[in-house]
Amino acid sequence: MMARRDFDPASLDPIAFYFLMNSVVVPRPIAWVSSRSADGVDNLAPHSFFTVSSVAPPVIQFTSVGRKDSLVNIEATGEFVVCLTPAALIAEVNATGTDFPAEMSEFDAVGIEREPSLRVAPPRVAASPVALECVLHHTVSFGASTVVMGRIVHAAVAEAALRDGRPAIDLLDPIARLGANEWGHVGTVEVIDRIGFADWPGHFRP
Ligand SMILES: Cc1cc2nc3c(=O)[nH]c(=O)nc-3n(C[C@H](O)[C@H](O)[C@H](O)COP(=O)(O)O)c2cc1C
């Protein structure tokens, strides 16, 4: 058995355990969340606590650690857009993680071009190859963390990111969040087919 060190969340400082979780739940995709405040200010912020919640209906989720402007806006308006974060925009993604005041738009402060969404009011990032337009489905709070679930009402994918009609990983070129302030890129991509039990070695097929 390999030597292991044990970490008990009940006896560790919550921040220390947060850093540990952040370093081991990796790599994480980054949701570039666009929202519009009740006053009409367009907000853009990266969130790497991000995944798919449901297939049908299509629901995605991200977690706001604390009451970030994104969360406040989405609670107020019920709409947001998740854009994919391509490697070409890594500096811009990081810059939108700056704690700008709510009345300042990250689109303007960082110099990110908007494009209109089709089904919701918050804009898309024009240079991002994917935009998932969402309406708020539900929020779930765990103390200071709030999970925001959004039902996708429209998906827009750049033609240039499609190969044979499907989004291609090399064309999307997404970045990922790792531990602390580390970022990851897509490395070697392996294609491995799932093995059905019928094809499992030794399985008797009558
Ligand atoms: C790559 C990256 C991932 C992040 N992931 C999260 C996250 O999952 N949840 C969160 O609350 N903050 C996350 N942050 C921090 C927020 O982006 C940051 O607090 C930002 O200022 C929030 O903006 P807002 O107040 O305009 O919503 C992340 C920052 C970076 C750079």
- Number of structural domains (the chain) is 1
In a domain, 186, yes or no: yes
65 Cβ inside 6 Å of ligand 1: yes
For residue 50, give its domain range.
Answer: 22-199
In a domain, 194, yes or no: yes
In a domain, 63, yes or no: yes
CA–centroid distance, 10 to ligand 1, in Å, is 25
CA–centroid distance, 186 to ligand 1, in Å, is 21
- pLDDT, one tens digit per residue, over 14-25 is 999 999 999 999
In a domain, 81, yes or no: yes
Q: For residue 89, which of 72, 112, 73 has the smallest C-alpha distance?
A: 112
**How high is the pLDDT of residue 144?**
95
Question: Which CATH number is 117's domain given?
Answer: 2.30.110.10
**How high is the pLDDT of residue 117?**
99
Q: For residue 53, which of 152, 131, 122 has the smallest C-alpha distance?
A: 152
Q: How many CB atoms lie within 10 A of CB 94?
A: 15
**How high is the pLDDT of residue 206?**
63
Spans in the chain with pLDDT lower than 70: 205-206
Atom of ligand 1 nearest to the CA of 68: 25
Contact call for residues 97 and 46 (beta carbons, < 8 A): yes
Strand order in the sheet with 31-36: 42-47, 31-36, 79-84, 130-142, 145-157, 59-65, 50-54
In a domain, 15, yes or no: no
Atom of ligand 1 nearest to the CA of 98: 21
